[in-house]
Amino acid sequence: MRYICTKIVTLLLLLLVVNSVFAQDRFADLEKRLNELIPELPGLNEKIDISVNGTSIQEFIRGIANNSGVNINVDPSINVSIVNNFTNVKVIDVLLYLTKQYNLEITTIGNILTVKPFDAPKQVKPIQIDEILIKYDSKNDFLSYELVNDTLWKVLKEITRLSGKNVVAPAKLNSKIVNGYIQNMPFENVLEKLAITNDLVYEKTDDRFYVLSEKGIEAKQGSSGDNISGDKKKSDKDGIEAKNSVIKTFGTNSISIFAKDISIPWIIKRISDTLNVNYVIVDELEGKKDVNVQNIDYNNFLLRLLDGTKYSYNNINDIYIIGKSENLSILNTKLIKLQYRSVDKIVEHIPDEIKKGINVKEFPELNCIVVTGPQSRIDVVENFIRDIDKIVPVILIEVLIVDYNKNNSVVTGINAGIGTNPNPASQTILPGINYQFSTQSLNNLLGQFEGFGWFNLGKVTEDFYLSIKALETNGVIDIRSTPKLSTLNGHEANMSSGETKYYKEEKSNYIGTQNPSLANSYTWNPIKADLSLLIKPFVSGDEYITLEIEVSQSSFTPREFTDSPPGSVTRTFKSMIRMLDGEMILLGGIEKESSQNIGSGTPILSRIPIIKWFFSSKTKSNDKSRLNIFIKPTIIF
């Protein structure tokens, strides 16, 4: 008896100590919070004198608030009378005294203090987990249990954990209360008796799952979720189909099926009925399939199941119409808009296998295509369009076409005569230009560029164009054209400029048979000489650009006779190169060469050595022109 009393006293003392420590921690925390508010509420630190006798705590604190200027709200449910006399004390000390004396607490909202009764936190009792008495002997596969008002879900979970064998039940039976006692019996016999004693049905599936279901309901094979089930009175055919399938459903957005040689109409009806989906089968469905899908929605279930068959479906106001693809109730029409590219010729890029069984038309006014056919086929076309509807790069191509001229001439002899005064000598003063890519270095590059080829100049600066202009002023090069072209990736950009000359063509015809007469007629036929450029860019993923380039340049030569057609010279080349975005390349090497040797002088004297220099003149020249093209592509999205 003394021992019991001692334990009770010890327990009471322990509780008192714990409560005392808790109270001390609470008041220390309150004092800390009030001190932190002094910068915002300086009235807490003011000293006051107050004396009351039998005044309610509400009136007492209201007097303190008026004297200190601190906003204080008091819970009207506090029923306390104050009898005190305070002299030269701080407001914060008075508030702390009241909270300790009358078991109050102070909370803050902004700069407002609220005094209210203290509610001690309730002690949370630890949840007691009822131990389920289940034992499993892996050596002889024996199972024992002692169940008293235990939930089926906990029982099956513990059996699965101990034995390593999957034992499941429909989700609606998880909370079912089960009871029973069995000692050292074979595993399957114990499960069978557990089902019988608790008004359940036990079944072992082909995939080694043990399924418990409600009595009178035959569980189809499944491992979790809402398993598809049917009455035992179903036909033998339905039973065979069920034996060949494993089906799990967690709503219309999560369907998992594993089935071999399963009937298409049977699986559609079973899934639709289980999920309460509205459907109408307008044609007789035939055929079987092997199905293995995980966590797909109902639309994808129908799409994958009917893919490759002559059947399809259409969803009209949440009612699924299922039947043959050519049935009018199955057909649907949809506008598929393109976001980044033109609809022009887009139908040509759709593979014939995808367009099979549907009608696809371009609708340029809305930049879209109109697709009519079964919904499953429309989805395939739409997925294909979305895959190819990407942002198409635009390429700005800056081109500089120049002729590099190299000529020399020798003029000998003396020409004398009477005429006007000779023209005064004149010269053009050129600006001295010498930048990162100087005029001299560019001149040397053009002069040494023998034969056809190309050279990558890299990323040139604006000074490069100044150097080109200086060379043109010096007469070293002749700038033929400076076009700027732009085109979409994979499309041609071309330009052409030139001139047309005409020559006269005469025809003579005899008219009549008895007395023929000669009639002359003529026509003017055109001949063109132009410069044409064709560039086709291809942009790769690493910002490299491949250019297919074709250049053709033709020019007129002097006429041999007055009325003869003008001669022409044509220079062409094709090239394919790969370069980085923003780099410049030089293409060239096609040359045109002409020479001239003209002499005049006094007969006989112009042929005598030494003397001929005084009685003759001779002009000998050799002109060489080389076509060069500078190209700089820039990607613009």
Q: What is the pLDDT of residues 535-563, one digit of tens each?
A: 999 998 788 899 998 888 787 777 777 77
Residues 6+ apart with CB under 8 A from 440: 434
Distance separating alpha carbons of residues 6 and 1, to the nearest angstrom: 9
Average confidence (pLDDT) over 450-475: 65
The residue written with tokens 């380039």 in the block is 549
**pLDDT in the model for residue 426:** 34
What pLDDT score was predicted for residue 297? 86
Q: Are strands 112-117 and 71-74 parallel, antiparallel or unpaired?
A: parallel
What residues contact 588, with CB distance under 8 A and at least 6 apart?
Answer: 404, 446, 449, 452, 453, 454, 626, 627, 628, 629
* Residue 257 tokens, joined: 């099926």
Please state the rounded mean pLDDT for residues 347-374: 89
Output the pLDDT for position 129: 52
Task: Report the range of poorest mean pLDDT among 102-116, 331-345, 556-570, 583-597.
Answer: 583-597
Distance CA 633, CA 540 (A): 13
Which whole number is the average pLDDT over 228-251? 51
Report pLDDT for 34: 81
pLDDT bracket for residue 427 (50, 70, 90): very low
Nearest to 591 by CA among 430, 440, 407, 463: 407
- Specify the pTM: 0.45
Question: Where do the domains of the chain lie, and which CATH numbers do they carry?
Answer: 24-117 (3.55.50.30), 133-214 (3.55.50.30), 246-328 (3.55.50.30), 331-390 (3.30.1370.120), 393-636 (no CATH)
Instruction: Write down the pLDDT at residue 462.
Output: 67
What are 39's two structure tokens? 């910068």
Q: Which has more pLDDT, 122 or 557?
A: 557
* pLDDT for position 413: 47
| Rounded average pLDDT over 250-258 | 76
Contact between 575 and 431 under an 8 Å Cβ cutoff? The reply is: no
How far is 246 from 255, CA to CA, in rounded Å? 11
More confident residue, 219 or 288: 288
> Which is higher by pLDDT, 162 or 53?
162
Distances (CA, A) of 576 to 352, 400, 402, 579: 32, 18, 20, 10
User: Cα separation of 18 and 14, whole Å?
Assistant: 6
3-state secondary structure of 51: strand
Q: What is the pLDDT of residue 362?
A: 92
Reference 266, options 250, 298, 289; nearest CA is 289
Residue 335 pLDDT: 92
- Residues facing 587 on adjacent strands: 454, 629
Please tell me whether residue 88 adopts helix, strand or coil conformation: strand
- Give 181-216 pLDDT, tens digit per residue: 888 888 888 888 888 888 888 888 877 788 888 864
pLDDT confidence of residue 453? 58
Q: Which residue has the higher pLDDT, 24 or 75?
A: 75
- The yes-or-no verdict on residue 473 having pLDDT over 70 is no
Banded model confidence at residue 618, pLDDT cuts 50, 70, 90: low
